[in-house]
Every structure is written in C-alpha cells, then in structure tokens.
Structure 1
Amino acid sequence: MYILPAIDIYQGSAVRLLKGDYSTANKVASSPYDAARSFAEAGASMMHMVDLDGAKDAKLVNADLIADVAKTSCLSVEVGGGIRDMKAVEYYLSRGIDRVILGSAAVKNPQLVIDSVREYGDRIVVGIDAKDGMVRAEGWLDNSEINYIELAKRMEDAGVRTIVFTDIDQDGTLAGPNLRQLGELVKSVSCNIIASGGVAVLKDILNLAELKVYGAICGKAIYSGTLDLRQAIEMTEKK
C-alpha cells in the first residue's frame, strides 16, 4: 500500500480544511515547496496535490504553482481540483504530473472521463467524494443523487483503473477513515482504491492495509504530528 502525503493549495498556500469547509482553511506549512521537500526527506515516493481554488471555481487556478512544486519535489504526483476539460488534463500531464484526478467531471461530464482514459489510460484517476454515501461535486459544494458505489461502477465500466474515495465527514477530522464504506467499495469494483479522509495514527494505516486498498492519502495527521510519515511508509513497505 502506498502512502500519499497531501498538499492542498488555497490562495497560494498549503492549507487543510475541516470537512471541506473553505472557511476553516488553516495554513499548515511555510510553503508548498517546504512541505513537498519534507515528504521526500521522509521517504515518500508519491504525493497528492489539490487545487482547492480550482475545485471551487471549476477551472485551473494554482496550476503553475502545483506543476512547479511537483517538478522540484522529484516525487510522483497526482493532482486534482478544477480539471474540467481535456485542455486542463493535457496541461498537467505535459508538465511532469504523473496522474490527474477527475472529480466533478465524473458526475457532470462522464464523456470527458471516457475520452481522457482512451487517450491517457492509467494516468487518469477519478475522485469520488461523498457525504452520507452520496456524491458531491464542485469543491464539495454541490449535492448529487448518485451513490458512491454506483458512480464507482460507472467509472470502472469507462475504463478507470484508480479511484480516490473521500468520505467528506471524515476529512480533516483525524477521526479515522470510513472503513465500512471503503470495504464496500473495494468489494464492489476491481479498481485500485486510494483512501482519503480521517487518517490520524498508524493504527488507521494498518486498518486500511487490511482492506487491501491501493493507497492512503494523509494530510492533517502529518502536519499535526499524530502520524509519523517515515514510520508509516516503512511499515507499509513491510506489508
């Protein structure tokens, strides 16, 4: 299982939100570059980045900054937030980003997912963000009538191989991941599942490893010090 430390960019800074609420944005590092450097020094090989402004505004906002942070980090990087058309997909993939995450587009423009997967294959990841099991979009501000399992199956049929699943109610809470929903998702589709939201301590990492998820995104736990990134990476390498 891969550990993916996270950097969420809001107004040019590395921040964390509580349950996706933009009003709770709290700066967690002196700069995104410093955060990425610390991840690399801890032994990370992959990193998860999100353009929060982009997610909210439905367009690329911090893309240049994200691409530069990724380039200087020397880590494999996946990026989400504001990617709503093929031009945005191409922007990132032509600038050294390894994978792009289509979130709102999976709900509102599934044809973009189909076209992107046809063109770029495994470099396309779908982000499914849910509250009470129902998918949300546009920076978690828009409700939908789609259950997260149903959307995952649609994405699997479209050829998507990797899904990032976030339980919004757990995100930024350090209350532990939603193991029940993640377990159901792992059993329902053949896609690689990356768990996001709620990871706080090493026990959470062990629990996720038991579910056979592909990866775990860790943000607030690293910044707050409840999770030692190096220890988590070393532990999962032995699993």
Structure 2
Amino acid sequence: MIVIPAIDIIDGKPVRLYQGDYNKKKIVGEDVLEISKKFEREGADYIHIVDLDGAKAGRLINKEIILKLAKTLKIPIEVGGGIRTYEDIKYLIEAGVSRVILGTIAIEDKALLRKALEDFGDKIAVGIDCKDGYVCTRGWLSQSKRKYIDFLLEMEKMGVKNIIVTDISKDGTLQGSNIEMIKEIKEISKIDITASGGVKDIEDIRKLKELDIYGVIAGKSIYSKTLSLKEALELTK
C-alpha cells in the first residue's frame, strides 16, 4: 500500500476543507510547489492534487500550478477537480500528469469515460465520493441517486483499474477512516482501491494496510501533525 499526501487548491493556495464545505476552508501553506517538494523529500511515491476551484466551476482553474508541478517534481502526481472534457484529459496527460481522476463525468458521460479508458488506460482513475451511501458530484455539491456500490461495480465492468473512494462525512474531520466501507468494497471488487477521507493517525494507516488495498490519501492529518508522513511511509514500505 502506498501513502499519498494530498494538496487541495483554492485561489492558487493549498487548503483543507471540512466535510467538503467550501465555507470551511483553511489555508495550510503559502506555496503548493514548496509543499509538494517537501512531500517528495520525505519520500512520497505519489502526490494527490485536487483543483477545488475547478471542481466547483466545472472546468480546470488552477492549470498553471498543476503543470508546474508535473514539470518540476520527480515523483508522479494524480490530479482531479473540474476535468470534464476529453481535451483537458489529453492535455494533462501530455503535460506529464501521471493519473487523471474523473468524478462528475464518470457518472454523467459514460461515452467520454469509455473513450478516455480506451486511449489512456490506467492513467485514468475514477473518484467515488459518497455521502449516506450515494455518489456525490460537482465538487461534492450535488448528490446523485446512484448508490456507490452499484456505481463502483459498473466502473469495474467498464475497465477502470483504480478508484479513489472518499467518505465525505469523514473528510477533513480527523475522525478516522471508514474502515468498514473500504472492507466491503475490497470483498466485492478486485479493482485497485485508494481510501480517502478521515485519516487521523498511524493506526488508520495500519488498519488500511491490513486490508491490502492499493493506497491511502492523507491530507489534514499531515498538516495537523497527527500523522507523520515519514512514519506512515516507513510502515507501508
């Protein structure tokens, strides 16, 4: 299992939200690139980047920052938030982004998802962001009528190799990961799972590692210093 530190971007700044609420943002640093370089120095294998402005607006907003990261860092980055056209997907991958995360269009535009999978394969991941058992889209501002389990199984049938599962009610709360939800997914699916939302400390990392999943994303716990990225990386490596 790999540990993936997260950086969310609003107005060009690195932030954290509480349960996806844009009105409850906290700036966690001055420079996205400098934080990314710090994660790289500490031994991270991957960095998770979300353009929160883009997720809300439905189009890439912080493109210049993302491209700078892709060109500067030696480790791969995965990017999500507001990526809703084939042109944006192609643009990001050609610019050096290693994995593009699709959320809203994965549920709203199956034809586009299918084409992206055909052309870019495992460079495409799908974000499954859920609340009360249902998938949320458009920057978590809209709740669909699709149960996350049904949607997950559909994604697997379509050939998606990697899913990023976020329990929105846990995200940014430091209340601990939703271990039961991840365990349930692991039991019914063979897809690579990255768990996101609620990670508090090294015990969460240990519990998720025991489930033998692909990865875990940690954000607020690292910034709040309830989790040492270095310790988490040592445990999982």
Question: How would you bin the TM-score normalised by the shorter chain?
Answer: over 0.9
Contact 1:5-1:46 within 8 A present in 2 as well: yes
- The correspondence of residues 141-180 of structure 1 with structure 2, limited to 5 A, is 141-180=141-180
Q: Distance in 1 between matches of 2:231 and 2:70?
A: 23
Q: Which residue of 2 aligns with 1:224?
A: 224
Q: How many residue pairs were aligned?
A: 237
1:179 deviates by 0.7
Q: Report Cα offsets for 1:76-99 as digits up to 9, x if no partner.
A: 110000011100101110111000
Which 5+ residue runs of structure 2 have no aligned equivalent?
none
Q: Distance in 1 between matches of 2:211 and 2:9?
A: 29
Give the letter aligned to residue 119 of structure 1. D
Q: Which residue of 2 aligns with 1:61?
A: 61
1:73 deviates by 2.1
1:70 deviates by 2.9
Q: Distance in 2 between matches of 1:193 and 1:227?
A: 21
Contact 2:8-2:14 within 8 A present in 1 as well: yes
Q: Structure 2-normalised TM-score? A: 0.98
Q: Distance in 2 between matches of 1:111 and 1:209?
A: 35
SS state of the match for residue 89, structure 1? helix
Contact 2:129-2:167 within 8 A present in 1 as well: yes
- The correspondence of residues 187-206 of structure 1 with structure 2, limited to 5 A, is 187-206=187-206
Contact 1:149-1:188 within 8 A present in 2 as well: no
Q: Report Cα offsets for 1:51-90 as digits up to 9, x if no partner.
A: 0000001101001211212322221110000011100101
Contact 2:163-2:191 within 8 A present in 1 as well: yes
SS state of the match for residue 190, structure 1? coil
Question: Aligned-pair RMSD on alpha carbons?
Answer: 0.8
Greater mean deviation of Cα atoms: 68-77 or 194-203: 68-77
Q: Which residue of 2 aligns with 1:43?
A: 43
Q: Which residue of 1 aligns with 2:137?
A: 137
Q: Which residue of 2 aligns with 1:7?
A: 7
Moved beyond 2 Å, runs of 4+: none
Which 5+ residue runs of structure 1 have no aligned equivalent?
none
Q: Report Cα offsets for 1:125-156 as digits up to 9, x if no partner.
A: 00000001100000000110101111111111
Give the letter aligned to residue 192 of structure 1. D
Q: Distance in 2 between matches of 1:13 and 1:75?
A: 21
- The correspondence of residues 67-106 of structure 1 with structure 2, limited to 5 A, is 67-106=67-106
Taking only the aligned residue pairs, the percentage that are identical comes to 44
Greater mean deviation of Cα atoms: 61-70 or 205-214: 61-70
